[in-house]
Every structure is written in structure tokens, then in C-alpha cells.
Amino acid sequence: MARILKDYPSVSLKEEDLDGKIDFVRLFGRSGPVHIEIGSGKGTFLLNQARSEPGDNYLGIEWARKYYRHAVDRIGRWGLTSVRIIRTDAAVFIAGFLPDSCVDCFHIYFPDPWPKKRHHKRRFLCPANLGQLIRSLKTGGQIRVATDHEDYFEQIKTVLDERKDILEEIDFFPTAGAQSGEWVGTNFERKYIKEQRPIYTIAVKKII
């Protein structure tokens, strides 16, 4: 019998409750580095990273309702007060609700590759969305990406390379939940490793 997923108001953030740009100090009740995961799935990265770095604040964005509910339930059961999760369109949310220079790191792990050519325009990492990420990043802030899709990875590198004026490539280090041979330790990564798919990673830093 499937366990009933519980909503935790202390974890779930509702877009209708937001009033303009987010004040992260007010949202979390404290100051601290802000990490945003785009496509948080069932919350594996958020759980592991928040437990490893308790002084940092984490916001997960997930569109799929079943994954969002699972992540909220999971984070809530662990009693983690440094994590919030919102179900919304990431591009719209970032453009509409994130202030300038407020984020320390964007984590984008295994985004939907939209493999069919006619669907490439739906890929999240495009020039317009990258511009919004850069606007929201603090100087020194990072964008970290992992994918199993080679074609999408090549597009991502091209998009990032076009902003060399403000972005500098840096090393991609494994996250707190990554086990031996893993980069981020998410459910998707472990599935793809079992299928012997190569994993591609890249990280960049905002230099001005």
C-alpha cells in the first residue's frame, strides 16, 4: 500500500502567496547563501545537500505535481527548516519573482532534454533563461549543470560560451549525496549510470 504523501506548509511555497520579489531572509527567517535547484524531482539533492550544509538555504522548483508532492513530504518528514519547494514554471518564476543578485548557486541536474528537434525550443537552458539566471546571481555565484544527453550538453556549452563576458568555467565537484562514480547522486543519475549512459557536467561562475 502506497504511503500517503503529506503537505508541510513550512516546506511548500505557493506562488499565489508571493507578493512581488522574494525576500529570502524573510522567507527562511535568517540570512545565508541561497541555492536554487531547477527541477528538484523527489528532492534527493535538496535533502542530502541541506543536511550537509545546514547554514545554507535551499529552494527547489518542480513542475511535475507527483514529484513536487513527494519532495515536500520527504523534506517535511526530515524536519529540514532550510528548504522550501515550489510547484511552478521555473522560467516564469525566476523572471518574475527573483531579485537581482540574490542567488549563490543554481543547480540544474538532468533537465528535460526535449530530444525531438521541433521541441528544442522548450529546453530550459537557452539564451533568454540564461540571462535571467545571470541577473539573479550574485557576483561569484555559480550555475552547475549535469545531463546524460550529449546533444543538449553541446547546446548548453554553446549558450554558456556566448556569455564569456560575464561567466567563467570552473571545476564541477560532486555534491554531498554523490557516491563513488557519481556527480550529484540523484535518482535520475543512478538510473542512467545503471544504463551505462555517460554523464556530462559543467559549472560556471559569474565574474562581475
Structure confidence at residue 120 as a pLDDT band (50, 70, 90): confident
Neighbouring C-beta atoms of residue 10, cutoff 10 Å: 14
pLDDT digits (tens, 9 = 90+) for 94-105: 999 999 999 999
- The predicted structure's pLDDT at residue 103: 98
- The predicted structure's pLDDT at residue 2: 67
- The set of catalytic residues is 112
Domain residue extents for the chain: 29-206
29-206 carries CATH number 2.60.40.10: no
pTM recorded for the entire structure = 0.95
Cell of 66: 507527483
**Bridge partner residues of 60 (DSSP):** 37, 85
CB 138 within 8 A of CB 98: no
Angle formed at CA 163 by CA 157 and CA 165, multiple of 5 degrees = 135
- Classify 88 as helix, strand or coil: coil
Q: How much is the mean pLDDT over the chain?
A: 94
- The predicted structure's pLDDT at residue 1: 60
Say whether pLDDT at 33 is over 80: yes
